[in-house]
Amino acid sequence: MISRFYTKFVASQNRSTRRKVNLYNLTGRINAQIDHLRRVVEVGDVQCVVNLRMSRNTFANLCYLVKHVGGLTDSRYVRVEEKVAMFLSVLAHHKKNRIVGHDYVRSGHTVSTYFHEVLTSILKLYPLLLVKPVPMDESCSNDTWKWFKVCLGALDGTYISIHVPHKDKPKYRNRKGTTTVNILAVCDQYMKFIYALTSWEWSAADARVLKDAVTRQDGLKIPRGCYYLCDNGYGNIEGFLTPFWRTRYHMNEWVNGSLAPQNYKECFNSKHCRARNVIERAFGLLKKRWAILRSPSFYPLKVQNRIIMACILLHNFVRTEMHDDPLEVEDWIIDPMDAPEDDFIDNVESSAAWDIWRENIAMSMYFQQ
């Protein structure tokens, strides 16, 4: 009896094995690969946004850019669209190569190879995807920004968890004991990034990172007469407008009634905080969209910094292309990038004249509100 049962069990296993071989032969794999990509991209915008963080039309435009500008090409067995889809799956959900390979019926080596190819192509779009800074016009009617004429946007830093070699951990270890990289970024009023610097360790002071960004040959360019809003982690110097020190500032401190601004300094700080909050919202949206920024990845340090920059570029692309993030085009009088090269700010030294200018802005706000 046991012998008959064992014989039937072996026969059933052999039949199951034959079915699996027929299912996963070359033809079966190709069909499975096509079916998965079709389910992700072609079913509908909702499915595409859930999986790739962008609509079908936006995905098609991105594939066009990386092909014609980034230099990405079809390989013998993998098209550009599938390479980009695998890359976005890793960024959007922080999936490991083997998991993505299982989803797309590819090997982990294939996923890794094309991930780096797409990453290189995305970074080639750097000058195209970073937005051009535009100062606030005199006719600006936005209640948040109308007080800050010729302002270019907001500046701040954030920390992103990374894995680093053991010898470098002391430089990157933060107060909580984890290793993070210090990111300096600038965005405009529409939460699109103008500039980003991703290579500094956590232990670097904000002022030091800012000085490096301003003095680099291809760094942050600030035309004279224009400025960015930033917090008190940076100095109140030409090109960077900070709130008043030792005065109420944060959003949760401003409510109606007796806790409303009581003097011109508090009035300035409340409006400054409301406008500068755009960079905090941009960081929050960036990390919410790309899960790979919310937990450390196991790529080399240089590759992790490149991934962070790619996420920033893709954030700008999505904000520009998707219909629910429209880019409002306005006619500005001043274009800071048309200024001659020697009119850019090239130092971060404090000055009494800039402090007096901030006092004048604050007094004007207080008496005009």
Helix and strand element counts for the chain (H, E): 13, 5
Q: Give me the pLDDT at residue 261, please.
A: 76
> What are the tens digits of pLDDT across the range 122-171?
999 999 999 999 888 888 888 888 889 999 999 999 999 999 888 888 88
Around Cβ 179, how many Cβ atoms within 10 Å?
A: 20
The confidence score (pLDDT) of residue 328 equals 32
Pairing outcome for strands 227-229 and 151-161: parallel
Rounded CA gap, 178 and 163, in Å?
9
C-alpha 298/C-alpha 305 separation (Å) is 12
**Which of 121-130, 161-170, 236-245, 347-356 shows the lowest per-residue confidence on average (mean pLDDT)?**
347-356
Q: What pLDDT was estimated at residue 337? A: 36
- Compute the average pLDDT of residues 277-287: 92
Confidence of residue 206 (pLDDT cuts 50, 70, 90): confident
SS3 23: helix
d(CA 304, CA 172) in angstroms, rounded, equals: 14
Q: Is the pLDDT of residue 330 over 90?
A: no
pLDDT tier, 205 (very low <50, low <70, confident <90, very high otherwise): confident
Q: pTM higher than 0.95, yes or no?
A: no
User: To the nearest 10°, the Cα dihedral for 304, 284, 241, 337?
Assistant: 60
Q: Averaged over 220-244, what is the pLDDT?
A: 89
Hey, what are 299's tokens? 């790529």
Q: Among 53-67, 94-108, 312-326, which is the least confidently predicted range?
A: 312-326
pLDDT of residue 25: 58
**CB-CB contact of 203 with 196 (8 Å):** no
Residue given tokens 């920033």 in the structure block = 312
Instruction: Tell me the two tokens of residue 62.
Output: 């991105």
In the chain, DSSP assigns E strands to 151-161, 180-187, 193-201, 227-229, 240-241
Q: What is the DSSP string of 146-171?
A: TTSTTEEEEEEEEEEE----GGGHHH
* Amino acid 3: pLDDT: 53
- Strand, coil or helix: what is 137? coil
* pLDDT for 279: 94
154: region left, alpha or beta (phi > 0 left; psi from -120 to 50 alpha): beta
pLDDT (tens digit per residue) in 63-72: 999 999 999 9
232 has pLDDT over 60: yes
Q: Find, among 353, 365, 358, 144, the residue nearest to 263 by Cα.
A: 365
Query: Of the candidates 351, 350, 348, 354, which has an alpha carbon nearest to the alpha carbon of residue 216?
Result: 348
Which sign does the torsion angle of CA 136, 138, 143, 147 carry? positive
Question: What is the pLDDT confidence band of residue 21, given thresholds at 50, 70 and 90?
Answer: very low
Confidence band, pLDDT 50/70/90 cuts, at residue 9: very low
The reported pLDDT for the residue numbered 342 is 44
* C-alpha span between 226 and 241 (Å, rounded): 10
